[in-house]
Chains A and B, each alone.
Chain A
């Protein structure tokens, strides 16, 4: 039995019929075909599916779709400006060499974005805390930390 929900996705209001059994990740990827949000494990351990819900970084693979009702949800697709400019975090990830295979990167960016939205000048420990639920196998995390620091340092 499908139900209608309404929420804000990347600054646009959406009304959509969903199966209450779905996760938010399923809705994003399979219904909206927004595949920037990745599924790396499906049980909340890798963070590849991270989106920002009402300012908080959340694993969308565990998030029941009905919970989205009325919320503000931002995905990786929502970060670029309308003119096609990268978000400063996206640009820093590119420029600092933080991207290799890239599969974890949308989740990494969303996790650190939530932190930088909340804190003007996070400490290194806070940066690490923000992405400790995001696994990366390629980079050894060093340049990912560098990229997030770069954005914080420029403020």
Chain B
């Protein structure tokens, strides 16, 4: 891969100047003429009958243009993965984030005042806040029309014979691990503006990560509202953080649409920070029973996992995270026998959604913590057991994943080397080292029937290139990666390339910014489109220079003959020739790339991703035995990325993911007490600040994935997947206690130290 000019370079992010000057327009900044402000009233109780809602006083407040309640939602419309969630609830509320009324007014202040004037009479009902209680036979039902609180979802994967493997294993470790709710904390809160034209076509300004799917969701909603054969346009404002939070459509969007329909005015709803904490959907909390075994040489013999997920009161895509949890469960290391079941359970808690890693962090916490327990039983160094069982190229895993390029061993060795593993491990003197590995999809993930992305490239007379892509820019840098790829093919500068990526009226279809897929899929799509347009340009240049296409080369905006450098023509001139010649043509190319990966079959087998991303994190900690405080002394994050198209932006993904992982491991937790969120603000929810940044090294391992654009794999999510178990393992090495329940707080460490001291007498 020599001779690359743009790919592999530390190119600054294309939209960074816009953002660094304050010129970027986020949903918060957007104003549409005539716009009203919408506000939502949430339930006072986690479980209650709504006896009466009186909106008369709110309606009468000057400046209020509409007040809606559940009675105003047409035709019993519900949204979400299982269509169990009405945008405004009537009859009954099932959680404290239940939307029960909404107001549109001429100002934010009036809308807020109107909410206070809505009188709601509730009859409080006992709630169920623990999934294990909700699962019990005879438990009260969250959704009475369903016969059980356990969702009817098929999360089960079996491979080989786990029972036989258990009998034959030399060593077995088993334990129970649990994880907490954490929330995305996007600095830009959620929001949208909905507006109808005179023919009832809808435009939604949004910060969604899934413009094409959101467009479809909104179209379905319009149909249910009785508006058939309408058009929906989704325009993305600059997105102030995603991390999975915007991978679904939400009540607030449907409420804005209903308010806009009622008032015939554009309606904007933007969440306050408190609302963002309350009414967006966190990462699922899980309870995981795990058992793993190995033979006398440390080779893994089986892995068995049973998981319970608190689904909350409604169902979003979060209920499908067990399908992605299966990736590490079946395929992290070579494990011949696997058994996994997961139950998602309705409770009166907040409902969960996608959050970077999509279930993988929870599963990997259990697997990698338990693997250290197994290594200890077998008397093998934790590094050694990982090396022995590491995945390799050419492997076919139990879920039929075809492992192509695989840099897992290299990542593990980088961690060992850079941490001085051998020198530091096993002293139990208050300092310790730990590691954990990861597997994740690295070449998209066929969750939907299509995993595709379209690109259109057009070039105009002046030599500038417009790349119109379906992919979404959520801060990760897809704009820049795509520009680098196209620049490499066309031999023009990154600055000559304009990326258009935010309007469903213009942009081709894409399944969304999820599954770490954008560089791989949108990159391949752009690569194909760029090659097509290059061929067209070369054809015209060849004709003009009297040369064959094969004899031409394009570099620095000039096309020249390899035989005779004097024979050349600037890029822009070729383009003018295309337009200004008799029988002229447009220079436009389109390309749809849908990767050759597979949907799971009914047994959850199938090559979900074209390639898989690997990594290993290693951490050195110091634990204060008096206070339980954990200090990270050194953090190594090694990732197999195939090829770093832009090492600078890639490091940004690793550093950013890593610190989110550290927050997950050591401090972040949404505290729900009987259905009420107790710490829905930045003061009480411990998101990492600059003071929490440890000395950290992002190590890029390039395995050159042949199916990736210029060899690249995805890196959006992996950065936080192995962080929590790596830290838990390091704490164990430092002070000999294992914390199995995230986050690992000083209180839990002190309690465990006390218990350990008691046991030792």
Contacts and interface: CB of A to CB of B under 8 A. Distances in A.
Nearest to A48: B187
Nearest to A93: B20
Interface stretch (A1-9, A64-72, A114-122, A126-134): A126-134
A42 B272 CA distance: 8
A142 B651 CA distance: 9
Nearest to B657: A140
Given A102-B238, A145-B690, A75 B652 contact: no
B331 interface: no
Given A46-B187, A135-B687, A100 B477 contact: yes
B675 interface: no
Chain A interface, >50% SS class:
loop
A16 interface: no
B187 A135 contact: yes
Band of interface residues on A: 35 or more
Contact of A100 (B25, B656, B683): B656
Given A35-B29, A132-B691, A142 B655 contact: yes
Contacts of A42: 272-273
B689 A138 contact: no
Interface stretch (B11-19, B56-64, B116-124, B377-385): B11-19
Contacts of A40: 187-189, 273
Contacts of B31: 33
Interface in B157-187: 184-187
B346 to A, nearest CB: 29
B187 A104 contact: yes
Nearest to B15: A102
B243 A137 contact: yes
A137 B693 contact: no
Contacts of A90: 17, 20-21
Given A103-B26, A135-B682, A142 B693 contact: yes
A101 B186 contact: yes
B497 interface: no
Given A35-B22, A36-B22, A97 B648 contact: yes
B16 A101 contact: no
A123 interface: no
Contact of A97 (B13, B15, B19): B13
Nearest to A127: B690
A138 B241 contact: yes
A132 to B, nearest CB: 5
Band of interface residues on B: 35 or more
A95 B187 CA distance: 22
Interface string A123-155: 000001001111111111111110000000000
A109 interface: yes
Nearest to A29: B29
A109 B21 CA distance: 9
A35 to B, nearest CB: 4
A49 B145 CA distance: 47
B357 interface: no
Residue in A35, A101, A128, A132 whose Cβ sees the most chain B Cβ within 10 Å:
A101
Given A36-B21, A97-B12, A102-B19, A132 B273 contact: no
Contacts of A37: 22
A35 B23 CA distance: 8
A75 B17 CA distance: 16
Interface in B624-656: 648-649, 651-652, 655-656
B493 interface: no
A106 B188 CA distance: 13
A13 B192 CA distance: 35
Contacts of B12: 94-95, 97
A14 interface: no
Given A102-B240, A137-B185, A140-B659, A86 B651 contact: no
A115 to B, nearest CB: 12
Given A38-B26, A101-B475, A137 B241 contact: yes
Residue in A77, A86, A102, A142 whose Cβ sees the most chain B Cβ within 10 Å:
A102
Contacts of A93: 16, 20
B24 A102 contact: yes
A144 B690 CA distance: 9
Interface string A27-39: 0010001111111
A94 B655 contact: no
B696 interface: yes
B476 interface: yes
Given A45-B682, A46-B682, A143-B652, A131 B690 contact: yes
Nearest to B186: A137
A52 interface: no
Interface string B271-301: 0110000000000000000000000000000
B20 A101 contact: no
Interface in B1-58: 10, 12-13, 15-26, 28-29, 31
B246 to A, nearest CB: 11
Interface in B219-239: 238-239
A124 to B, nearest CB: 10
A44 B738 CA distance: 37
B186 A97 contact: no
B20 A143 contact: no
Nearest to B29: A35
B47 to A, nearest CB: 29
Interface in A40-74: 40-43, 45-46, 48
B660 interface: yes
Contact of B273 (A43, A102, A133): A43
Given A43-B681, A135-B185, A143-B652, A103 B241 contact: yes
10 contacts: A42-B273, A45-B683, A77-B21, A96-B648, A99-B19, A100-B13, A100-B656, A102-B24, A102-B475, A144-B690
Interface of A: 29, 33-43, 45-46, 48, 75-77, 79-80, 86, 90, 93-97, 99-106, 109, 128, 131-145
Given A38-B28, A90-B17, A101-B474, 7 more contacts: A35-B22, A46-B187, A100-B477, A101-B239, A105-B19, A128-B693, A140-B657
